[in-house]
Chain A
């Protein structure tokens, strides 16, 4: 079972590129969506991350940050991120392998990678919703959006700006 709602989200500091680290503390004051996934490049993960990439404007209405986490190394993340044009950080739970996933009770010891697990954390660092999907199934975004709505109020969205952000 993944860490449940009401639990304080364990802090972490992980590399996102070979020379940059991201820690959960950096986002205090904002909701955070943690998306643990088994591996870069596997088809389901790709679709899942592509979907979240597309929904970033929606998450940003709640001032929420999205972080993808897998046991892949930072060089792998850089290549994957570039290939899929991801606009949110991917963190490397690489050394010690899977330590952060383990701290969220979202690691598959038998496989050596994390569960496909989602956590929505509030601005004070408390887990408000968690979910583990079967490894081969894309959990979609519905649960994340419902969780965000349960404690954060969205801003009105400017459709034209959201769908036509610069750099696309």
Chain B
């Protein structure tokens, strides 16, 4: 049996797109600098469109900081944006600009999505959100996340390919689904 999610999805804690009562919950452990996660980004967008309100999507951080030098900064930037209710805007910016994730570019994205620059940069400089990113990371390590992206469908790790058809098939047969 594939491993299960050890830190349950929590409406207060997690970054979530979709309704709390959606029958399918897709959790991604991702790294903004990881090319495979970049490739999965439009797939998840499309999946959300096709499955609609039956799906809620949760994103958690799993930065591989030793191979991706900007991954930690990007994760903290998303959290900093999140503290101003703009997590998803930053998430989208980062995944669509994976080749430019240094601080200067990330500052541009912050301005573009309407964040006040000074407190944003201050939060990055003092690593206010490092503990949260680490908590996500460790929750992944304890749940069988081996690399990125790793998906969980209704709390069970999904070990299949990350293309749209495979994911559509997988969410269709996810445990606890009412069709």
**Contact pattern, B 23-64, Cβ under 8 Å of A = 1, otherwise 0:** 000000000000000000000000000000000000000001
Partner-B contacts on A (CB < 8 A): 47-48, 50-51, 53-55, 58, 84-87, 138, 140-142, 145, 157, 159-160, 162-164, 168
With known contacts A145-B141, A160-B127, A164-B72, A54–B65 Cβ distance under 8 A: yes
CB neighbours of A51 from chain B (8 A): 64, 141, 146-147
| Contact yes or no, A168 B145, CB < 8 A | no
Q: B98 an interface residue at 8 Å Cβ cutoff?
A: no
| Contact yes or no, B66 A85, CB < 8 A | yes
Q: B116 an interface residue at 8 Å Cβ cutoff?
A: no
Interface stretch (choices B12-20, B106-114, B131-139, B171-179): B131-139
Between A86, A142, A160, the greatest number of chain B beta carbons within 10 A of the residue's beta carbon is seen for: A142
With known contacts A159-B134, A164-B130, A54–B69 Cβ distance under 8 A: no
Interface residue from A48, A159, A163 paired with B146 (Cβ < 8 Å):
A48
| Contact yes or no, B144 A142, CB < 8 A | yes
Known pairs A142-B143, A159-B127; list 18 more (Cβ under 8 Å): A50-B66, A51-B64, A53-B66, A54-B65, A55-B141, A58-B141, A140-B145, A141-B141, A142-B3, A142-B141, A142-B142, A159-B134, A160-B127, A160-B131, A163-B127, A163-B134, A164-B130, A168-B65
Question: How far apart sit A160 and B133, CA to CA, in the bound complex (Å)?
Answer: 10
CB neighbours of B133 from chain A (8 A): 163
Interface residue from A54, A159, A162 paired with B64 (Cβ < 8 Å):
A54
